Structure 1
């Protein structure tokens, strides 16, 4: 069973992914290899949340 904290982390992770994807689609400066300052901040936030979520998943499966 998923704890409320884990569910919240997943929701935040997916929201960050959506915000980053929307920005990437609309920003002419962002590419696969470089990001504008806003795109970098959004990507970094998404990556941190993804790492935290995957780490928690790994720990729960031990």
Structure 2
């Protein structure tokens, strides 16, 4: 299992990547995510779920 610090870092990096993409992608800002944006959102959501689960059950 990933160390909590590593998991947090990956979770925050995924958020940063998604936010940066969304800033520059009109489709992701106004409609459904584009294929690249959808992959970033999915990664962010998976890492967020894992991080929050770890916080609830250390």
Note whether the superposition's TM-score is higher than 0.5. Answer: yes
Q: TM-score of the superposition, structure 2-length normalised?
A: 0.91
Deviation at 1:32, TM superposition (A): 5.8
Partner of 2:37: 39
RMSD over aligned CA atoms reads 1.5
> Which whole-Å CA distance do the structure 2 matches of 1:32 and 1:10 have between them?
28
Counterpart of 2:10?
A: 12
* 1:8-57: CA deviation from partner (whole Å, max 9, x where unpaired): 00000000000000000000111365100000000000000000000000
Point out the structure with the larger helix share: 2
Deviating runs (4+, > 2 A) in structure 1?
none
Report the Cα distance in structure 1 between the residues aligned to 2:30 and 2:3, rounded to whole angstroms: 32
Question: Looking at CA atoms only, which structure, 1 or 2, has the larger radius of gyration?
Answer: 1
> What runs of 5+ residues in structure 2 fail to find an aligned partner?
none
